[in-house]
Structure 1
């Protein structure tokens, strides 16, 4: 029998060099099976589960939850009989590990070969997805806020149902909700869950934090109580405390990382994972791109009518407004290729792209992400609609593959879902432009010589002034507006 085998963090691809441990699915002494998820990690791209490439007993965990580890760093040790040790399992005995580059290439080979070491959520097989669903069901039925890892011999086959017994202990499925509660000192066991099956949701924790932040009775103002704008809890009033606490909670949830209470009433949220990646990308965009913004208000009544006509003609296509706007953007980029480009600052060159990889902004619990639909110019309207739905679901469930979150050439941002009319969006570096769409509302509008109520929206185009001038940018935006107002223009360019 050989000594314990050390399982190291595999190469996650896309240039990622580190990951944060979100949650261990196993503990020391647990027996694990091959391909059983043992740890959930969060990278700058997505949250993924790492399966064990070997069966055996866990003898050591090398890092605690919340720790950031590098690719090739030890994750856990598994004591297994020598005959169970895999040939290409990414595990090495306690002997010195190979160099980092050899380790990375080793995992790349395994992923290309389709071995058991492909990360859950990144793989190609349906078996991994079924194991993921079974594991979630086991955690949901465990009745513990921390939801200890499922044992290989006790995986249920059905997902939890709604309507769990009222005397069942509250469950916390989301690691984000669990970290948020821990940071604020909230006992999830004392909360009344509002989710299906007795699951504690983010809003339950937020409500508890807001309630705990309210003082039991008003206290007289004292010198030094005044706070500057944005200080929230420092105001000393009930409204100020509630607003400050809610603001801290909002940032903590959408940042995808737990905050640590400290400095009085302040909640500090570390910039990690997706939030850090977006912060760096947007900051770089502001530093490097001389952007300009142009906008126009358009009558979208005909476009909405077209959406209804398509739904009646082909209900299975599930074509929504975003899909129609995406198809319009693709047609516009083929007509004005200057905007489907980037700038190589080192070589002082404009790089125009022959393929359109359309990104679209999606808000998730882990923050703002931009899923990418590759080769959107080769898709039909129905195919675009299906791809939008699939990418959105992947992003919100935290299972988007890194290659589906990078490489975009143009971004569509529908901020109208937040109930706002317009915005000056920040370009998604290194792209050259972004189209923003506001909410669609009824407004008085001149139509056929009369003032009527029409469905009106605002389109905003932010563009890199290095790649084109106002003529090209205005031409693209006008083309998009014409397609929205008269969809037959789009048909002529499909």
Structure 2
């Protein structure tokens, strides 16, 4: 007889204690291979696929898509053993467990083809009999009881615990609803429709009272929700990556006394140097170098001259900690919000290797494959908001760092060059810095050096 094992949400590292279920990759009744990804979760750092160390038949899932679970909470149960092994795609008996317990592990073998086990086959055939998992709150194992005020006890066609919670919050009797899902399953949209219908009925039956002229619908006070009154509009939970960014930005504003200085720079020579690098043939040919990679290399040279800006503040010890290595972050906008991947030990890299790492991290950000380690430990951030077509900005420092360099778009402008008016490629640079770690003279010196390197890239030869 197979044994039912419970797989819990593993430790995700980097001090993360919870994760949101984004998408289930398996269903109840599916046959899974050892170390096959079974669920996609989003943490405050990144979105990752969680592999299951057991091979067998999925008998229950815990948690619905959009629900947050703490580390150690049950994810699913799997029936393993000789019976479960007989259900593999090639007929071979699989091992029960890989023994791996951390996100990011895996055997590297391709995942077995998913197969559903028909309920009647599971119930009627001795060779594929799978014992049912012990019922638990939130288990997605078919119809489960839903305790809603005023309803009778018994099974209700509801799987998601979020649906049951939503119904309880609005005193809805799930037995009065008709589910739009498979086999009459009650979905979240069904409950939300019932809530809207109930609210409309309440509004129509409520008496109409006179509204003073001073309290017009356009007044700001009328837009503030009062107790017991809901305001129409979409509510977007601040959780996952977006929630973590919100918390970090708010903390930065609370703790860091920041200041910003900026300067316009003639980037014509920098753009010409980049064109020469990328157009070179023969032995000098190599990967294309981006403008961002050149600016990153300029930043590392500037931080070598002004190490005060590669530091952090230890509030408990009341000390400024100057950091030896430059872990250069760069802001990247994704569908899930703003993320800041980090290029490790950027001070040891040239423009080409920095560019290669930026390319790798950007692709991982775009596909949601950044790991928590890719997003942690930055000491200085480069923010290229010029890609959005804007000239300037006063960015918020990425706590607990001490500074951020902002780069606007590079655009043709009239410029006095060698005593004559000419059309040049001009960029605005801004530096937001923590005034606790340095004064304006240091910040201005850093920014001026960056601008000088942009205008005369040959200055970088001193540091190569």
Find the counterpart in structure 2 of residue 413 from structure 1: 383
Work out which of the residue numbers 321, 329, 344 in structure 2 matches 1:351: 321
CA distance in 1, matches of 2:293, 2:39: 36
Paired residue for 1:364, among 315, 334, 337? 334
What CA deviation, in whole Å up to 9, does each residue of 1:230-267 have, x standing for no partner? x8xxxxxxxxxxxxxxxxxxxxxxxxxxxxxx956411
Matched, 1:466 2:436: yes
Query: Secondary structure at 2:3's aligned position in 1?
Result: coil
For structure 2, list consecutive stretches of 5 or more residues without a partner in the other structure.
Answer: 86-93, 117-210, 224-228
Alignment of 1:8-407 (within 5 A): 8-81=8-81, 86=96, 89=99, 110=100, 117-119=101-103, 122-123=104-105, 127=108, 151=114, 225-226=217-218, 263=230, 265-313=232-280, 314=284, 316-407=286-377
Per-residue Cα deviation, 1:405-430 (whole angstroms, up to 9, x for no partner): 01000000000011111001100000
Q: Say which SS state the counterpart of residue 247 (structure 2) adopts.
A: helix
SS at match of 1:10: coil
Shift of 1:291: 0.6
Cα distance in 1 between the residues matched to 2:115 and 2:278:
45
CA contact (8 A) 1:19 1:68 kept: yes
Structure-1 separation of matches of 2:47 and 2:402: 28
SS at match of 1:454: strand
Say which SS state the counterpart of residue 286 (structure 2) adopts: helix
With 483-492 and 74-83 compared, the bigger mean Cα shift is at 74-83
Report how far residue 227 of structure 1 moved.
Answer: 6.5
Between the aligned partners of 2:15 and 2:114, the Cα distance in structure 1 is 33
Out of 409, 415, 422, which is 1:445 matched to? 415
Conserved 8 A contact 2:34-2:98: no
SS in 2 for 1:420: coil
The higher radius of gyration belongs to 2
Question: 1:316 Cα deviation (Å)?
Answer: 3.2
- SS in structure 2 at match of 1:317: coil
Distance change (3 Å), C-alpha of 1:62 and 1:311: same
Deviations 1:139-194 (A, max 9, x none): xxxxxxxxxxx6169xxxxxxxxxxxxxxxxxxxxxxxxxxxxxxxxxxxxxxxxx
Deviation at 1:493, TM superposition (A): 2.2
Q: What 5-or-longer segments of structure 1 have no aligned partner? A: 90-109, 111-116, 136-149, 154-221, 232-261
- Please report how far the alpha carbon of residue 51 of structure 1 lies from its aligned counterpart in structure 2 after TM superposition: 1.4
* Structural RMSD (CA): 2.5
In 2, the alpha carbon distance for the partners of 1:152 and 1:416 equals 49
1:70-122 CA-partner distances (Å, limit 9, x unpaired): 11111000011168564553xxxxxxxxxxxxxxxxxxxx4xxxxxx553xx4
Aligned-pair CA distance for 1:3: 3.1
Report which of the two has the higher share of helix: 1
User: Could you tell me the TM-score, scaled by structure 2's length?
Assistant: 0.71
Following superposition, the deviation at residue 123 of structure 1 comes to 5.0
Structure 2: distance between partners of 1:448 and 1:152: 73
Q: In structure 1, what is the Cα distance between the partners aligned to 2:456 and 2:294?
A: 12
Please list the CA deviations of residues 308-331 of structure 1 after superposition, one character each: whole Å capped at 9, or x if unmatched: 000012553210100000000000
Deviation at 1:55, TM superposition (A): 1.2
SS where residue 316 of structure 1 aligns? coil
Deviations 1:398-454 (A, max 9, x none): 111111101000000000011111001100000000000001111110001100010
Cα deviation for residue 353 of structure 1 reads: 0.5
Give TM-score scaled by structure 1 length: 0.67
Contact 1:33 1:152 in 2 (8 A): no
Contact kept? 1:36, 1:152, Cα under 8 Å? no
User: Which residue is equivalent to 1:205?
Assistant: none
Paired with 1:484 and 1:265, the residues of 2 have a C-alpha distance of 50
